[in-house]
Structure 1
Amino acid sequence: MPHTLLVLAHPRRDSLTAQVAGRLHRRLTDEGHTVDLLDLYAEDFDPRLHPADEPDWEDRDKTYSPEVRAHMRRIEAADDLVVVFPVWWFAAPAILKGWIDRVWNYGFAYGRGKPRLAAKRMVWLGLAGGPSADYAGSGLDVAMEHQLRKGVSEFCGITASSVRLLHDTELSGVPKAQRAARVRDVFAAADAALTSFHASALEPANT
């Protein structure tokens, strides 16, 4: 039975981002996955890097803080990692970056000859307020894709990884009568992204 770590990085539980995460949680459960929901805000995760969690380049077996070690265990237990977040300033929010800084640490996620996370699969699912054409025209979609997939997932040995952006998620400029349809479109895009991720996960990993 696959086990998924579903990471949510949004401060409001009624946000569209949280609704997407909730929808994916239900779908994964219905499909037979066990799901560990890591709501970074609800769990009051501290994104600040303290000395206890600063990498020691001379000791890859450093013992990190109890909070970080608990998060490491949750990552180790997962087969799949699904990260759902809002795109703010064309990047992941600070709390998610802080989670990477503190938890995906030297000696655990990287810094070993045989990467500990290599067998895992990962998808980054970002909700972007603007249209896809704007991101493509400026190259910001490619920049985000490289930073998250290459700079985090593949750097830590996870070759079965992808970055999917759900566009046009800002509803403030959408007439109220049309908002329900826009939300349905976002949900459909999220479902399609998860379906594509699962399909690609069945293919042999690149070497």
Structure 2
Amino acid sequence: MRRPTLLILAHPRSDSLTAQVADRLRLRIEEEGGTVDLLDLYAEDFDPRLTPVDEPDWEDREKSYSPEVHAHMDRITAADDILVVFPVWWFAPPAVIKGWIDRVWNYGFAYGRSKPRLAGKRMLWLGLAGGTDADYEKTGLATAMDVQLRVGVSEFCGITESSVRLLHDTELSGVPRALRSARVGDVLKAADAALDEHLPH
């Protein structure tokens, strides 16, 4: 049986390949006895802008943030596994993900404690990248994303079981229509493999 999972989806279109991957993984986790809290940042109209009410107060780690942020904190707390599915835009996650981290993974909650509150959770960042694996490795972009997300967010907040996995060649516009279904199938299989490898039973 899988552990309770918070699945974060970040794509504006419900028919996108990113959304298909998230739906595939949600169904798999549920079929295998797990529970999934799907947090679709666009569908829930999450506001990524950091305003003073959610700005960290370095002199008060017990600060009360906005009700929206505390509701998201509760959803993170309730999960054992955190799975973030996103498209890679400009070699990084979409801005809404950055804004979600800025507002929700806040001082006193995700970091700033002698005993990290998120320790013991597992986390997988699953990005859909249009470019090839070779291109990302050659330019160092894969390493840059790994350091930014795994080290800079997950490990900084006490999540030591964390990984970044990119699904490559996901841009379908240059693929002949007759071959697109097979390409989508390959991407979904790669997503399955990432789930099994990085968030096993």
Q: Please, what TM-score do these two structures have when normalized by structure 2?
A: 0.98
2:103 is aligned to 102
Bigger drift between 172-181 and 41-50 goes to 172-181
Q: Describe the SS at the equivalent of 2:180.
A: helix
Structure 2: segments with no counterpart, 5+ residues: none
Q: Describe the SS at the equivalent of 1:85.
A: strand
Shift in Å at residue 140 of structure 1?
A: 0.1
1:138-176 deviation per Cα after TM superposition (whole angstroms, max 9, x unaligned): 000000011000000000000001000000000000111
1:20-72 deviation per Cα after TM superposition (whole angstroms, max 9, x unaligned): 00000000000110110000000000000010000000000000000000000
> Are 2:132 and 1:131 equivalent residues in the alignment?
yes
1:24-39 to structure 2, matched below 5 A, reads 24-39=25-40
> Are 2:76 and 1:48 equivalent residues in the alignment?
no
Q: Distance in 1 between matches of 2:47 and 2:188?
A: 30
1:205 is aligned to none
The answer to whether the 8 A contact 2:22-2:85 is kept is: yes
1:157-198 deviation per Cα after TM superposition (whole angstroms, max 9, x unaligned): 000010000000000001111111110110010000000013
Q: Distance in 2 between matches of 1:72 and 1:198?
A: 21
Shift in Å at residue 12 of structure 1?
A: 0.2
Equivalent residues, number: 200
Q: Describe the SS at the equivalent of 1:111.
A: coil
Q: Which amino acid is 1:96 matched to?
A: I
1:19 is aligned to 20
Q: Distance in 1 between matches of 2:58 and 2:193?
A: 41
Q: Describe the SS at the equivalent of 1:68.
A: helix
Q: Distance in 1 between matches of 2:124 and 2:190?
A: 14
1:83-108 deviation per Cα after TM superposition (whole angstroms, max 9, x unaligned): 00000000010001100000000000
1:183 is aligned to 184
> Are 2:67 and 1:71 equivalent residues in the alignment?
no
Shift in Å at residue 123 of structure 1?
A: 0.2
RMSD over aligned Cα, in angstroms?
Answer: 0.8
Q: Distance in 2 between matches of 1:67 and 1:119?
A: 24
> Are 2:144 and 1:152 equivalent residues in the alignment?
no
Q: Distance in 1 between matches of 2:174 and 2:129?
A: 14
Q: Describe the SS at the equivalent of 2:124.
A: strand
Q: Distance in 2 between matches of 1:80 and 1:20?
A: 17
Q: Which amino acid is 1:60 matched to?
A: R
Where has structure 1 moved over 3 Å in runs of 4 or more?
none
Identity, in percent, stands at 75
2:194 is aligned to 193
Q: Distance in 2 between matches of 1:195 and 1:181?
A: 21
